[in-house]
Amino acid sequence: MDQANPFDTPRTFSLHRAEYLVGLAVTTGLIIAYFDEIRWLPAIGLFLYIDLVGYIPGAIAFRRAKGRPIAKTYYVLYNVMHSLITQGAVAALWCWLVKPEWALLALPFHLFGDRGLFGNFYKPFALPFEPVRQPGYLRLLDDLGVAHPKPAAHAFDPVPVGHVPATVRRHRPGAREQQGAVR
């Protein structure tokens, strides 16, 4: 994966997840170390609100859509709520308005768990809201000579539903390319 090829092969995806598992381990260690100092009601609220706002509405819309596209708003909600930047801002605001406290560990614990344990990263508009292996990605892996990952969260590969497929762009040579072809 690099700036010219922004995708993960199954191996680099596993390494990416492993980094978040280290963050989850550190966060878990801090939760254990400061267990008695954590205000648990705010911690549980901070942990849950991320999915109550950012995941549950999109998951419901995806299931209700039964193959029809769902609004991009659900993707935006998910991505904003599952952003380390957003949750860092929430933690800073909490520290300013409430107080710095160990309950805030619920925020990185949630995000590191989602990414490290479940492999849930940002949701691109071009893919279904729920994980479904894409034939184009599988063809890319074939071209690279890389084994296919096992289906994610499914016993089989369901048909991709609930999103608007990208339109195929036809390459139209520019004036300079057309002139070069004439010569």
d(CA 57, CA 75): 10
Instruction: Judge whether residue 180 has pLDDT over 80.
Output: no
Instruction: Judge whether residue 164 has pLDDT over 60.
Output: no
Please report the pLDDT score of residue 1 as a whole number: 61
Q: Output 141 or 74, whichever has higher pLDDT.
A: 74
Q: Output 156 or 42, whichever has higher pLDDT.
A: 42
Positive or negative: CA dihedral 17, 19, 25, 31: negative
Summarised one tens digit per residue, pLDDT across range 82-108 is 999 999 999 999 999 999 999 999 999
pTM score of the predicted model: 0.80
